[in-house]
Structure 1
Amino acid sequence: MITIRARNPGKRHGGERRRSRWPVIAVAAAMLIGMAPAASAAGIDGPLRWQDCESEGVPAGMQCAAIDVPADWAKPQGQKITLELARLPATEPPRRLGSVLGISSGYGIQDLTRSAADLTELRRKFDLVGYNARTTTWIAHMPQACTQPGVSLHDPRNAKELAALAAAMNEAFKECQKADTTGLFAHLDALSIARDTEAIRKALGEERLSFMASGIGGSAAAAYARLFPQRIQAMYLDGVNNQTEGWPAQRLLSLPVMQRMFTRFADWCAETPACALHGQDAEAVWRRLLRDADRHPISVTSSQYGKGKLTGWLLTSTLPLDPGPENANWLTFAAAVDKARSGDGSGFADQALFNARYSATPGAQVMSCGDDRGYTSYAQLEDFRRKARKIAPEYAGAAIDALGCTGWPLPVANPSRPLLTRGLPPFLGVGTTWFDYTSTKSFTSMIPGSVTIAYDGPGHVMYLSGKKCPIRHATRYLTDLTLPEPGTVCPTE
């Protein structure tokens, strides 16, 4: 029996070495890195041994622990990994109602640390618990063989091109799997994460738990609801994906959102002299750039990712969904479009080439391929394109984040399929009208009696953004199971 302990995310020296040899995954992981010191591991069914966290910058009173779980839940006595946990105990113990656990697909301790001040009211009656998912162990111990892109991603124009792309990714995945010593390559799917979550519930000693999930954690939330519906007291979903309907269906839902976002950008540009496209039809300029770049790709050089070519398909992956502080993202984007239409793609080079490399890197894609993310055939891709062309012709190409899972060498552990909702309580969802409301709504609509609040503005994950209106509704729901009225909208803060 082997126990692999995840690298302490609070220690920076190991991270520096990894960043220097693999910027692709490190850049993505840097958005997730949290703080949790190593702590004594407890047995799955035994009590957790909580102790004061050792890392700097954590909220006052935060406690840490750890739990060992199987790398492969089908072999409970086999190879183990250690999951790190943190909790903020209820501040009014006599009124304590239980625990709220964040269902994580990444560094959940960072989420708890970042949001602690905004969840003060919720913490009065609940212990708030977060954990770093098994993907953090994977990132910390990933072999070098898993860090190299398997192919130069492009939008396949025919079945032969897709087959060649799949063959290259298949070979890269197999090399990654061969070098893996963690035992996790085949077990990073949401069902495995859900079973980890259930082990934590048992270790907490709670008969039922309330949950919070955000972003791609929606896959793990759906998996937990599928496996352990009787253990859910309440489920708050904040800007989540809906894996149960399949990744292509979710992409189709996002296309109108992308179109509306660009219309907002164009309207802002028409009213803003500082916009590089001011006085022009920004939407027409963008569509022309995409068409021209597909016909004649723009050669670029990135200081981080080397040389590459920008096609219109690749440029669509650079679309900013948030204007940023003082519209900085929109200003930068407009300047990049203006330069690119004259043949200078430098404004897009770093982001576009990063997107292409990251989505073709086996070590990154392995964290979602088991959840049915890739295209299984050219017929499926063409079916997606036909539907996409009716919605948004300029964005009808293959989804870049799904292409990298094409060629996945193992059976899909967690196929997309309808969620059986019997025994589930009503869920509460929150999503931004500029980005993730549609995907969150598609999830909550499956569960009778559920409600999704629309936050009328940009952003992603409202409780991490400190938005008072969504947090107020979430606190009320998690505390006494009171849902807002259907159609509730939170104004921009």
Structure 2
Amino acid sequence: MLGTVLASALLLTGAAPAVADAGWAPSPIVWTACPDDPDSPTPADGECGTVRVPLDWNSPGGPTITLAVARHRATDSAHRLGVLLADFGGPGSSNAELAVTPGVFSPEVRARFDVVGFDVRGTGRSEFIECPDTGRPPSDEPAGPAEFAALRKYHEQAVSACRARNLPVFDHADTGANARDMDAVRRALGEARISFFGISYGTLLGQQYAEQHGERVRAMVLDSSIDHSAGIERFLGDRAAAADDAFRQFVAWCDRTTTCALHGQDVYAVWQKALAMTGGTPQAQSELRGRVLQDMYRPVWDDLGQAIADAAAGNPPMTAQFSYNYDSIRLAVVCQDFDLRIRGFAQYSVLHAEELRRGPLMRGSTLSHGETMACLGIQGPPSNPPHRLNIPRAPRILLLNSRHDPATPYAWALAIHRQAPANTTLLTYEGSGHGVFEKNACTRSAVDRYLLALAAPEHDVSCPA
């Protein structure tokens, strides 16, 4: 990890040091058939291996851990362009599994690239982090100092139990460490340069790799970006505003779509009734808001409308569930990548009031609010503190973002673009949802052209919804 002195310098100056792990080298990967995964919806199509890396990059001669790697070889080896490393975000998704899953990338990309994914620390088959069950938490919207203290105590105990179960990797799983791991994977593959595709939280891995090893990047696509410069106010406030913006897009769709379960009704009034029908408790309302936010991701407007109609009729829909270990790994990753430390109830009150001001419809984002409250249990400063992006050695990077993204706000893509204007191009999808690459022919062709021919648009562009 970056170390206290270097991390402080990054936070203050935004410097982008070259990271050289001299004196340590990975062994070449031994490829074998991938193990069967009964939980995978589609069969894997590739080969698997492992890379051993230092547990602590500041002590490369110390203990090591094993990272799972998978590869789908380029089907047109005569015209192979190199390696495309991919991170599908979460945090918590198995990049190794998804990299060898048919259909993720176009046939043209799979023909010209070895598509490679490695499970970052704490995910998949790389030192999987899973917290013990500590029971139902108190409401994450405390009404006073006593409730705030109880919530902090709960999360401190939860973090302590999770850390004890998952040592030593729990203390060494931030995205800065994962970026150094990615260069170890590059070296183990024997590649001078790599191309990279990251989506959602995976975009932070790409950004940090470009800061550390920009000269090793051939091409980089960052789809629905995390803004690592966001302080706690913007981390909460920007996402609260984005969730409300997405909700208004749903209302507009419902007003013009006869199949919407709420068509012809005052959708805002029905939404308020749905929240009231949960019993009015913050915890019950949070579960409904979380389900609605999840439906905004693709988006699935029909399901969202039906969920609100059902809740307003007294039949709340099932709570949103993640299919990976997000609730566990966010403690070791998000809480170390961002400074989400709240000192006391007074500071919480100010922050929550701003959430409600910027997002009165959705009452804040359950995603960012939940992450921030979970980080109440973390002690000490973040090991990978937020800072402005600084990538002078990187090539032109293609940024993609929906204008109405409920999870990674469009404002974050604009902020990243402003931080690195000389070598980023922004493609705006003029629609809703989280994740742009597969939206339509316009977005897919732009990404494929860039990856295959390094033909990034000279100026910012947009694709219609």
Does the alignment pair 1:366 with 2:327?
A: no
Which letter does structure 1 place at the counterpart of 2:319?
Q
Aligned residues: 424
Picking from 32, 36, 52, the partner of 1:51 is 32
For the residues of structure 1 that align with 2:381 and 2:303, how far apart are their CA atoms?
Answer: 40
Shift of 1:473: 1.3
- SS of 2:378's partner is coil
Picking from 167, 170, 181, the partner of 2:153 is 167
Does the alignment pair 1:113 with 2:137?
A: no
For the residues of structure 2 that align with 1:272 and 1:96, how far apart are their CA atoms?
Answer: 46
Picking from 377, 389, 392, the partner of 1:407 is 377
Shift of 1:244: 2.8
Does the alignment pair 1:351 with 2:319?
A: yes
Does the alignment pair 1:186 with 2:159?
A: no
For the residues of structure 2 that align with 1:233 and 1:84, how far apart are their CA atoms?
Answer: 23
Equivalent position of 1:384 in the other structure: 351
Shift of 1:410: 4.3
Is contact 1:101-1:130 (8 Å) kept? yes
Equivalent position of 2:403 in the other structure: 433
Does the alignment pair 1:334 with 2:301?
A: no
Shift of 1:247: 5.3
For the residues of structure 1 that align with 2:170 and 2:393, how far apart are their CA atoms?
Answer: 33
Equivalent position of 2:270 in the other structure: 285
For the residues of structure 2 that align with 1:288 and 1:102, how far apart are their CA atoms?
Answer: 43
Which letter does structure 1 place at the counterpart of 2:385?
P
Shift of 1:190: 0.6
For the residues of structure 2 that align with 1:261 and 1:197, how far apart are their CA atoms?
Answer: 34
Does the alignment pair 1:97 with 2:81?
A: yes
After superposition, where does 1:60-79 map in structure 2 within 5 Å? 60=45, 62-79=46-63
Equivalent position of 1:88 in the other structure: 72
In the superposition, the TM-score normalised over structure 1's length comes to 0.75
Once the two structures are aligned, what percentage of the paired residues are identical?
A: 25
For the residues of structure 1 that align with 2:229 and 2:186, how far apart are their CA atoms?
Answer: 23
Does the alignment pair 1:219 with 2:198?
A: no
For the residues of structure 2 that align with 1:138 and 1:59, how far apart are their CA atoms?
Answer: 15
For the residues of structure 1 that align with 2:349 and 2:36, how far apart are their CA atoms?
Answer: 50
Equivalent position of 2:450 in the other structure: 477
- Unpaired runs of at least 5, structure 1: 1-42, 299-308
Is contact 1:209-1:234 (8 Å) kept? yes
Shift of 1:129: 1.3
Shift of 1:135: 1.9
CA gap of 1:311–1:94, structure 2 versus 1, over 3 A, is closer
- SS of 2:68's partner is strand
Is contact 1:313-1:397 (8 Å) kept? no
Does the alignment pair 1:123 with 2:110?
A: yes
Shift of 1:148: 2.4
Is contact 1:154-1:314 (8 Å) kept? no
Is contact 2:244-2:361 (8 Å) kept? no
Is contact 1:240-1:440 (8 Å) kept? yes
Shift of 1:189: 1.0
CA gap of 1:176–1:262, structure 2 versus 1, over 3 A, is closer
Is contact 1:369-1:412 (8 Å) kept? yes
Shift of 1:367: 3.7
- SS of 1:476's partner is helix
For the residues of structure 2 that align with 1:453 and 1:403, how far apart are their CA atoms?
Answer: 33
For the residues of structure 1 that align with 2:289 and 2:299, how far apart are their CA atoms?
Answer: 22
- SS of 1:351's partner is coil
Shift of 1:178: 2.5
For the residues of structure 2 that align with 1:403 and 1:293, how far apart are their CA atoms?
Answer: 25
Is contact 1:150-1:362 (8 Å) kept? no
- SS of 2:429's partner is strand
For the residues of structure 2 that align with 1:325 and 1:317, how far apart are their CA atoms?
Answer: 14
For the residues of structure 2 that align with 1:238 and 1:445, how far apart are their CA atoms?
Answer: 16
Equivalent position of 1:36 in the other structure: none
Tell me which of the two structures has the higher relative contact order, counting C-alpha pairs closer than 8 angstroms and 6 or more residues apart: 2
- SS of 1:412's partner is coil
Mean Cα deviation higher: 125-134 or 47-56: 47-56
RMSD of the TM alignment (CA)? 3.3
CA gap of 1:293–1:328, structure 2 versus 1, over 3 A, is closer
Equivalent position of 2:463 in the other structure: 490
Which letter does structure 2 place at the counterpart of 1:369?
C
Is contact 2:249-2:432 (8 Å) kept? no
Which letter does structure 1 place at the counterpart of 2:378?
W
Q: Deviations over 1:130-174 (max 9, x none)?
A: 11222225887556x633247323212344433332222112211
In the superposition, the TM-score normalised over structure 2's length comes to 0.79
